[in-house]
Homo-oligomer: A and B are copies of this chain.
Amino acid sequence: MHSSYYNIIENAYRLTKALEDKGKLATYIPELANVDPSNFGIHTTNLDGTNFGVGDNLKKFSIQSIAKVLSLTLAYKILGEEIWERVDVEPSGTKFDSLLLLESYEGIPRNPFINSGAIVICDILMTHLNNAHKDFLDFVRDVSDLPDLTYSDKIADSEKAKGYRNTALCNFIKSFDNINNEPEDVLDFYFDMCSLEMNCQQLSKTFTFLANGGRKLDGKKIISKGKAKRINAIMLTCGFYDESGEFAFRVGLPGKSGVGGGIVALYPQQYTIAVWSPKLNPNGNSFKGMTLLEEVTTHSELSIF
């Protein structure tokens, strides 16, 4: 059964690789603009541990916003349902860094995956961890089985240097009293968090705990089954900024994208898939990544629907 699925992946990869890439490199983080835009990889890991990849599946890239799922996981584990007093679980309906809704909802971000929401999650972690930078990294090292994983200072510094929009968001939320630490410190952690790098294989493996009821493949519990399901639900409704409905519609899996061009998606109880192609569509999601995942799920009938 795996082999036919692997065939589908390989064929979908070749088909998509041949397509014209209508996306554009993200430019607002200068370091990301230096990435070779022709990189293109995919890797899938199923819950029995077997895995398969094609293309640039072993090259590291900046996972960016994909890390927001991991910071949410840690904060949700620590704070429980109380967390939803600080951030909501609704799709935003508007651009990913919009301040409009923040104003309407008086500083409560619509969900933990838009920038404003992820910044509030960072604030929560800073309040509840001894050393958020270190403790979060340790957590991700554990989840991913990558003991040498580190933040990329180069990426973090590059984003920080141009991080006016995020600085605006963080201070705006602070003005509504929904940030407890100093904005500058929260942002430092936020930029670190977004600077993690993985390759497609590592990324697909890291996310298996969410397809596996909250447990790593080795059985270690990361988070409860119920919470894992709920994180998956939020990925489905909010994982792709204002293209979340489109992704559910075309691909039909919970997932999360990053401006580095990575996307991770998962089929509960079965597989995870990570793809990477740096050029983004106008909504900030990997152009070829979206296309490739649509191809794979159409032919493999992977959709949860």
Contact = CB atoms under 8 A, between A and B. Distances in A.
Contact of A89 (B103, B226, B249): B249
Contact of A183 (B100, B167, B226): B167
Nearest to A248: B233
Interface stretch (A16-24, A31-39, A90-98, A148-156): A90-98
A111 interface: yes
A131 interface: no
A45 to B, nearest CB: 18
Interface stretch (A48-56, A133-141, A236-244): A236-244
Contacts of A199: none
A232 interface: yes
Range, interface on chain A: 35 or more
A125 interface: no
Nearest to A102: B99
Chain copies in the assembled complex? 4
A282 B303 CA distance: 32
Contacts of A99: 99-100, 103, 168, 172
Interface string A207-239: 000000000000000000010111011101110
Nearest to A283: B90
Contact of A229 (B90, B98, B110, B305): B305
Contact of A230 (B91, B98, B249): B249
Nearest to A251: B233
A171 B175 contact: no
Interface string A194-212: 0000000000000000000
A245 B171 contact: no
Contacts of A229: 252, 303, 305
Given A99-B172, A168-B168, A233-B305, 7 more contacts: A88-B245, A93-B93, A93-B94, A99-B168, A168-B175, A236-B237, A237-B244
